Structure 1
Amino acid sequence: MKQHIMKFSSYVKIGLVSLIVFACNKEYLDPQKAVPEEVFNSPSGLTAVVTGLQRVYTFERASSMYNVVTANGFVTKELLLVNPGNVAEGQLNAGGSTLDGTNTIITGLWASSNKIIFDADRVIVNAEKLNDKNYASGLIAYATIFKAIALGDLAMYWDHVPDGNGVNVGFITSEAGFNRAIADIDKALTLIAANPMSSTFLSAIPAGIDIVSMLNALKARYALYVGNNALALSTANAIDLTKKSTFNFDAITLNPIFQTATATNNVYQPVDSTLGLPVGLQPEFADQRVSFYTTINPTIAPRFRIKGFAVAANTSFPVYLTGEITLTKAEAYARQGDLVNGLAELNKVVTKTALTDPFGVGAALPPIASVASQQELLDLIYKHRCIELYMSGLKLIDMRRFGRPVTEMKRALFPYPFSERDNNPNTPPDPAF
């Protein structure tokens, strides 16, 4: 197998027209190409690369952001395919054996994730050599965010993930991948506690992400995914829920979901007001999150349309929702047998109004009076995770974690891209479903 950084250019057609702006010096880097070695030798060059990680993750239809929301949405029945002529989306919509290693969306997600991990590692290694330790800690923390997101994306959708970069790289389990991300986050948090990030660095990166809160949010998420409920709870409790972390867009760099799906009505839309949930778990009629995430077109099919965090070209997209953190607490309590505190945390989400939520996501429902068992509480937490985190890319792993029937999904895990299998003899067998 060729190194992931080299493969990225050859099998992901990003089609970037605009390039990454490097801080105030207006130096440009093309994320479709391997980054020159000399870029990693200075704070300014490292800043250009670390800023580019966000660009790779969010830019246009080939981005990880689009691919995560789209792939997850189809296989979990959140989305309605509008035009079957969109071949990759059509394969995801069909699911099962129709979805194979030729699919450009899952291949793109695999490639961009490995690209991000590769460059983030290079930033981290070279930042450690800088004399300005406060600037270096910012670089390392910011790079760790995107490395952790990319590693988490791989671990959410494949049962094994690459064990680093290189020729004929080996693989580790997805659980080991999540734990590796947690370990990297811990290193970054320890570093920035010892060497507070410099204001010079913070002013050089895109606005939108609160670095400490973001690191802890990812740590809590992945701890929950591996069943470390105590760690998930303690980490979630440390997060300031008034802070927001978002990918921001403007008239030049457009929200990729809006650009591809919302604006065109030619790719996909929400399935309907059920948000893809089965009978018994569907949103209540009065649940205001349905009208937050969807809108109605009374004259042109399909009737339900995308709203929420892809309603306009410049709509910011949350990297995590405050509701996710509260639901993490609810689940961590519930899985440890504390139904009282678990229900109390769940009711914070159930009763939350749009005005009291930093992102404007509110159900505004009456509180759930009681639950008869741990399983009933977990079912309710699953339901409200699916509604609260609609079109976030997080539903498929929840379906597996909560033991949902395979009839509710079109695929439980993704096949490995042929571009990986053809170049790496260590590629694991594809999961059966």
Structure 2
Amino acid sequence: MKKNIINKIAFLLSITCIITASSCNKEYINPSAASTPSVTSSADALMNLAAGLQRRFTIGRQSPLYNAPVGGMYAVYGLRTLNVGNTAEAELEAGKGAVTQANSIVTQLWSQCLFTKTEAETILNNLGVAADPGDRVGLKAYASIFYALSMGTLCQFFEKIPLNSENNAAFSNRIDVMQKVISVLESADADLTATSPSTKFINRIPPGINIPNTIKALLARYYNIHSMMTGTYNTASGNKAITFATAASQSIKSEFRFTTTTTNPLGEWNATVNVFGAIDSTLGLRNGLAPVPAASDPRIGFYISRTGPTTFPLKAFALNVTAVYPVYLPGEMSLIIAENQARQNSFAASKTALDAVLTKTTDIFGVNANQPAYGGPLTQADLLREIYRQRRLEMFLSGQELEDSRRFGRPAPNTPGEERNRNFYPYPQIERDNNVNTPADPAI
């Protein structure tokens, strides 16, 4: 996206800050709309900007927290649009050529991730103004989390992404973008081993995110994706994914929290019961992947209401406007370990990690499978099929569904038994209008 477009929007938003100046003595500035000089002048100014990162990423129907889970689940036939007046959702449900470059979900996912990335970069590029080591480490780690979430999300939905914020920015391939994401996170992780974020910094950001564990969990997630990006499994990346997934705590929550004024966007739109619901009582699993009967797996009842026969409202992390949303789930970490062990033909180790999910009854978020241990063949193909199945059941509405479908080689669009309605989303028209380097849209 053009840098000047971002700056113009930020300037228009910043006008709202003027209103508060005469109404009270306390300065009240929208940190995400402040001008560049004001947010880079001091550690306190950077903390104001940092405090706005979560709001940018999670609040409102335009946020990535709405558009990534929705875009991911529609792409794998997991959601049904309940009111065709919701045009953007209806297009994603139809998929393939029905998804236009003007689709608002695709457009907002693209633009808001790039906005979040730009604001995170502003903090990372100006850490020198923070004299206190604890302030500096806190700023770096927290900004790295949102840099990674924004760019890592784009990598899962788009074939190429601009790494730099500039006029007519060049597009980079997903491998280069993911390597940048990993390097940012690894630098933050290294700093956290020596210095903890200051109490002052922790008190300035929204509560809920455990910074050290989130860094490790995101490193596990993105190394896991990176391991298959070339089309051939990268053992070095897979080993890193295992290492960081093992290090991320499964007993400490890291979550986005909401209130009645700063609302969960999935819960807000789910509460209207006229936008979307699960497509069926098995979360849209096809080709023999669904539990039989569906009621045998309590995670389905955890995630959706079986009111049927045509509506299956969402529950759990989309239940209402104040429902928390996990930054990562403990089960995700176990499944990352299981996947990479399977790809390395360490089948016993893969089964051990897989069983940790299947038999789980004490999940900190309540995502419990309570199923028998895996009893299928100990082959790579069989284990990976079951791991994919468990990711769909364990991580419903995580936003990782489209990437998972590609990485596990599930049936592609226009092939027998297709399980996704496209491979990547088209580039938004707003980008094409403002960047002459926007590539041609990828094949469906």
TM-score (norm 1): 0.92
Counterpart check, 1:297 vs 2:307: yes
Moved over 3 A (4+): 33-36
| Contact kept? 2:157, 2:425, Cα under 8 Å | yes
Measured after TM superposition, the shift of residue 100 of structure 1 is: 2.2
Structure 1 distance, partners of 2:209, 2:142, is: 9
> Once the two structures are superposed, what CA deviation does each residue of 1:337-364 show, in whole Å capped at 9, x if it has no partner?
10111011101101112xx101000111
Q: Deviations over 1:65-103 (max 9, x none)?
A: 001111112111111110111111111111111112111
C-alpha distance in 2 between matches for 1:346 and 1:322: 12
Q: Are the structure 2 counterparts of residues 427 and 303 from structure 1 closer, same or farther at C-alpha, using a change threshold of 3 Å?
A: closer
Q: Is the 8 A contact 2:280 2:310 kept in 1?
A: no
Letter in 2 for 1:27: Y
Q: Which amino acid aligns with 1:420?
A: E
Supply the RMSD in Å over aligned alpha carbons. Answer: 2.2
In the other structure, the counterpart of 1:2 is 2
* Segment of structure 1 superposing worse, 262-271 or 38-47: 38-47
Q: 1:317 to 1:5 in 2, by over 3 A?
A: farther
- In structure 1, distance between residues paired with 2:304 and 2:2: 43
Residue identity (%): 35
Report the counterpart of residue 425 of structure 1 in structure 2: 436
How far did residue 203 of structure 1 move? 1.4
Q: Is the CA contact 1:5–1:114 (under 8 Å) kept in the aligned structure 2?
A: no
Work out whether residues 269 and 302 of structure 1, in 8 Å CA contact, stay in contact via their aligned partners in 2: no
Give the equivalent residue in structure 2 for 1:371. Answer: 377
- Which ranges of structure 2 fall in alignment gaps of 5 or more residues? 228-236, 413-417
Shift of 1:322: 0.5
Q: 1:124 and 1:46, CA in 2 relative to 1: closer, same or farther beyond 3 A?
A: same
Identify the residue that residue 333 of structure 1 maps to in structure 2: 341
* Match for residue 350 of structure 1 among 346, 350, 358: 358
Partner of 1:359: 365
Q: State how far apart, in whole Å, the 1-side matches of 2:441 and 2:376 are.
A: 42
Q: Deviations over 1:293-341 (max 9, x none)?
A: 011336xx74311111111221100111000000001001001110111
* 2:217–2:245 contact (8 Å) kept in structure 1: yes
Q: Which residue of 2 aligns with 1:247?
A: 256
| Secondary structure at 2:252 match in 1 | coil
Task: Give 1:163 shift.
Answer: 2.0
In structure 2, how many angstroms separate the alpha carbons of the residues matched to 1:308 and 1:376?
30
Q: For 2:332, which of 314, 324, 331 is the aligned residue?
A: 324
CA contact (8 A) 1:168 1:426 kept: yes
- The verdict on how the C-alpha distance between 1:34 and 1:204 changes in structure 2, with shifts beyond 3 A counting, is closer
Asked whether the equivalents of residues 63 and 112 of structure 2 are also in contact (C-alpha less than 8 Å), the reply is yes
- In 2: Cα distance, 1:176 partner to 1:8 partner: 28
Match of 1:270 in 2: 278
Would the aligned equivalents of 1:283 and 1:290 in 2 still touch at CA under 8 Å? no
Pick closer, same or farther for the CA change 1:346–1:255 going to 2, 3 Å.
same
Task: Report the AA paired with residue 43 of structure 2.
Answer: P
Stretch moving more, 420-429 or 181-190:
420-429
Q: Structure 1 residues 281 and 418, CA, compared in 2 at 3 Å: closer, same or farther?
A: same
Q: Match for residue 382 of structure 1?
A: 388
> What does residue 204 of structure 1 align with?
204
CA–CA distance in structure 2, aligned partners of residues 121 and 400 of structure 1 = 29
Report what 1:283 is aligned to.
291
- Normalising to structure 2: TM-score of the pair? 0.90
Number of corresponding residues: 420
1:257 aligns with 2:263: no
